[in-house]
C-alpha cells in the first residue's frame, strides 16, 4: 500500500509542477525507493499540508488515502479551533420545482453559486422522502413509505439508515440537532389515546420512548425544537408560551420566564448552538403584526432583552408576503445570522448579529418570476468529520 501511495504522490507532484525551474536531473529526489521507505506518520504529516479540497479529489485513488482523512494530522489541522474552514457556508433552497436539486447561496462570497446540490445519486435508496432537515453538516431525511430516516454526510459520502421506532405511528415535530459528540433525533407520534415522544441518540444508536406528553404544541407539525441548555424548546400556539423537553429525563417543563410582550401575533425560537436563545415575534393585535422584534434571553435566563426591531418598510413587506398567516413563518440560525423565512416567499429576511443590521437575501436567479409556494431554506455548513 505504501508503494502505491508514494507512486500517486510522485505523479501528483509532477502533474502540478509544470512551471518549476528544476531540471530533469532533479527526478532523483523523487526516487520511489526513497519515498517508499517513509514512515507512515511522516507521509501523513506531508499530506496534511495539501488543501483539503485538493485532497478530496485524490481520496478515491486508493484506500490508504481515504483512511488518511481521519488521521490525527488531518483532523488537528482542518478541525482545530484556530483553523479556518476550508469550505464556504451555504444557504440551501428547496422548492418543488427543483426536484432533488437545491440551489446554493454562498454566504462567504455573498452570491448564488452557478451549480446546485444534487441528491439524486446520494439518496437513490430514498426515492420518496418527504422531509429534509439539516444540522452541523449532516442531512436527515424522512421516508414514510419505508418508515425510516436517513442521516447522511454528503461530503464524506457516508450515511446511516434508522428505522422509525414504530411502524404504526405518524411522525410529527421531527427535530434533528448535532452536538460535538454526535446527534439527537426527536419525534412525536400520535396514537389513538395519547401522544408519546421518542429520542434517538447517535452515541448508543437506540431510541428511547417517553410517555405522558401533553398535546400543547398544536397542529403545526412542521415546527422543530431548538437545542438550549440540554433541552429542546418549542413555542406553543395561542395563548403563546414556551415549553421545554428535557433530553435526559424526558420530562416536559414550562420555563419560569414570561414572554416579552402580551401583544404577540407569532413566536419563533432560535438557538445559536453556543448558549444563546433568541425569540422572534410579531407585535400587534387581532392577528395583525404592526412590528417584528428580536429578543435574547437574559444572562441569568429569567427575562428577555430586546435586541432590535425590524425597520418599518421591511416589516411591511414581510407581513404582506405572509398574508398575516404566520403558520408559514419559520426561523433558523446560520453562521451568525438569524434567518426568518416564509413558505410562500422565495426570499430570506435575516439579521446579522455582528453588524446589528437587517437584510434581504437576493432572490435566486434560477427561480422563474412566477412560482408557487413551498419554499424551504436550510443552513448547510459542510463538515467532513461530522459522523453519521
Q: What is the pLDDT of residue 86?
A: 55
Distance CA 183, CA 135 (A): 9
Radius of gyration of the chain (CA): 24
Q: What is the pLDDT of residue 23?
A: 44
* Higher-pLDDT residue of 295, 214: 295
Helix (H) or strand (E) holding 330: strand 329-334
Alpha carbon 27 to its chain centroid, in Å, reads: 47
pLDDT averaged over the chain? 80
Pick from 134-138, 149-153, 163-167: least confident: 163-167
**CA-based torsion, 72, 77, 82, 85: positive or negative:** negative
Burial of residue 177, with CB atoms counted within 10 A of its CB: 0-12 exposed, 13-18 middle, 19 or more buried: buried
Residues of the chain above pLDDT 90, percent: 39
Q: Give 78 or 288, the one with higher predicted confidence.
A: 288
Pick the range with the lowest mean pLDDT from 8-12, 35-39, 240-244: 8-12
Average pLDDT over residues 328-353: 95
Rounded to whole angstroms, the Cα distance separating 133 from 131 reads 7
Q: What distances in angstroms separate CA 188 from CA 163, 216, 218, 233, one per listed residue?
A: 15, 12, 12, 14
CB-count burial class (<10 Å; 0-12, 13-18, 19+) for 6: buried
Nearest to 235 by CA among 189, 289, 281: 281
Reported confidence tier of residue 95, pLDDT bands at 50, 70, 90: confident
Strands of 376-380's sheet in order across: 111-118, 101-106, 90-94, 376-380
pLDDT over 50 (residue 208): yes
Q: What is the pLDDT averaged over residues 89-110?
A: 84
Instruction: Indicate the pLDDT class of residue 92, thresholds 50, 70 and 90.
Output: very high
- Structure confidence by residue, pLDDT tens digits, 168-179: 667 788 999 998
Residue range 247-275, pLDDT digits in tens: 999 999 989 889 999 999 999 999 998 88
Q: Which pLDDT belongs to residue 52?
A: 62
Mean pLDDT throughout 175-202? 85
Q: What DSSP state is assigned to residue 63?
A: H
How far apart CA 352 and CA 106 sit, in angstroms, is: 15
b/e sequence 351-371, b meaning 16+ C-beta within 10 Å: bebeeeebeebeebeebeeee
Q: How confident is the model at residue 158 (pLDDT cuts 50, 70, 90)?
A: confident
Rounded distance between C-alpha atoms, residue 175 and residue 146, angstroms: 19
Predicted pLDDT at 334: 96
Question: What kind and span of H or E run contains 4?
Answer: helix 2-15
pLDDT at position 168 is 63
**How far is residue 107 CA from its own chain's centroid?**
14
Question: Mean pLDDT throughout 308-326?
Answer: 93
CB environment 329-347: b (16+ within 10 A), e (fewer): bbbbbbbebbbbbbbebbb
Mean pLDDT throughout 277-290? 95
Domain with CATH 2.120.10.80 in the chain: 90-380
Peptide bond into 239 cis (omega under 30): yes
User: Which of residues 236 and 6 earns the better pLDDT score?
Assistant: 236
Residues 6+ apart with CB under 8 A from 140: 132, 133, 134, 149, 150, 151, 174, 176, 185
Q: Is the pTM of this model over 0.85?
A: no
What pLDDT sits at residue 72? 57
At 24, the pLDDT band (50, 70, 90 cuts) reads very low
Is the model more confident about 354 or about 78? 354
Helix H segments across 273-379? 312-322
Greater confidence (379 vs 55) lies with 379
Q: Residue 138 — very low, low, confident or very high, per pLDDT cuts 50/70/90?
A: very high
The matching CATH number, chosen from 1.10.3720.10, 3.30.70.100, 3.30.450.20, 2.120.10.80, for 90-380 is 2.120.10.80
Burial code of 22-35, b = ≥16 C-beta within 10 A, e = fewer? Answer: eeeeeeeeeeeeeb
Segment 198-206 mean pLDDT: 95
Amino acid at each position: 500500500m505504501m508503494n502505491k501511495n508514494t507512486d500517486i504522490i510522485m505523479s501528483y507532484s509532477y502533474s502540478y509542477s509544470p512551471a518549476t525551474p528544476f531540471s530533469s536531473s532533479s527526478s532523483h529526489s523523487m526516487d520511489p525507493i526513497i519515498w517508499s521507505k517513509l514512515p507512515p506518520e511522516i507521509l501523513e504529516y506531508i499530506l496534511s499540508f495539501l488543501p483539503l479540497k485538493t485532497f478530496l479529489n485524490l481520496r478515491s485513488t486508493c484506500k490508504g488515502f481515504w483512511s488518511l482523512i481521519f488521521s490525527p494530522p488531518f483532523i488537528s489541522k482542518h478541525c482545530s479551533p484556530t483553523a479556518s474552514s476550508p469550505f464556504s457556508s451555504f444557504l440551501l433552497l428547496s422548492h418543488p420545482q427543483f426536484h432533488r436539486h437545491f440551489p446554493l447561496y454562498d454566504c462567504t462570497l455573498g452570491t448564488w453559486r452557478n451549480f446546485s446540490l444534487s441528491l439524486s445519486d446520494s439518496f437513490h435508496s430514498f426515492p420518496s422522502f418527504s422531509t429534509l432537515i439539516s444540522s452541523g453538516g449532516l442531512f436527515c431525511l424522512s421516508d414514510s413509505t419505508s418508515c425510516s430516516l436517513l442521516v447522511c454526510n454528503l461530503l464524506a459520502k457516508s450515511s446511516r439508515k434508522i428505522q422509525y421506532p414504530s411502524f404504526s405511528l405518524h411522525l410529527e415535530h421531527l427535530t434533528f440537532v448535532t452536538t460535538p459528540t454526535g446527534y439527537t433525533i426527536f419525534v412525536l407520534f400520535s396514537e389513538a389515546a395519547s401522544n408519546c415522544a421518542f429520542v434517538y441518540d447517535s452515541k448508543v444508536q437506540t431510541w428511547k420512548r417517553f410517555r405522558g406528553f401533553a398535546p400543547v404544541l398544536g397542529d403545526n407539525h412542521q415546527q422543530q425544537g431548538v437545542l438550549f441548555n440540554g433541552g429542546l424548546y418549542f413555542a406553543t400556539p395561542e395563548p403563546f408560551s414556551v415549553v421545554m423537553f428535557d433530553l435526559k429525563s424526558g420530562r416536559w417543563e414550562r420555563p419560569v420566564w414570561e414572554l416579552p410582550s402580551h401583544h404577540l401575533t407569532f413566536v419563533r425560537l432560535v438557538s445559536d448552538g453556543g448558549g444563546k436563545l433568541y425569540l422572534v415575534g410579531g407585535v400587534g393585535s387581532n392577528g395583525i403584526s404592526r412590528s417584528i422584534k428580536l429578543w435574547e434571553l437574559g444572562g441569568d435566563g429569567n427575562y428577555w432583552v430586546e435586541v432590535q426591531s425590524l425597520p418599518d418598510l421591511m416589516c411591511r413587506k414581510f407581513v404582506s408576503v405572509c398574508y398575516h398567516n404566520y403558520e408559514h413563518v419559520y426561523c433558523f440560525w446560520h453562521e451568525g445570522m438569524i434567518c426568518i423565512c416564509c413558505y410562500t416567499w422565495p426570499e430570506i429576511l435575516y439579521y446579522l448579529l455582528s453588524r446589528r443590521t437587517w437584510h434581504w437575501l437576493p432572490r435566486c436567479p434560477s427561480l422563474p418570476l412566477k412560482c408557487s409556494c413551498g419554499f424551504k431554506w436550510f443552513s448547510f455548513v459542510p463538515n467532513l468529520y461530522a459522523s453519521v
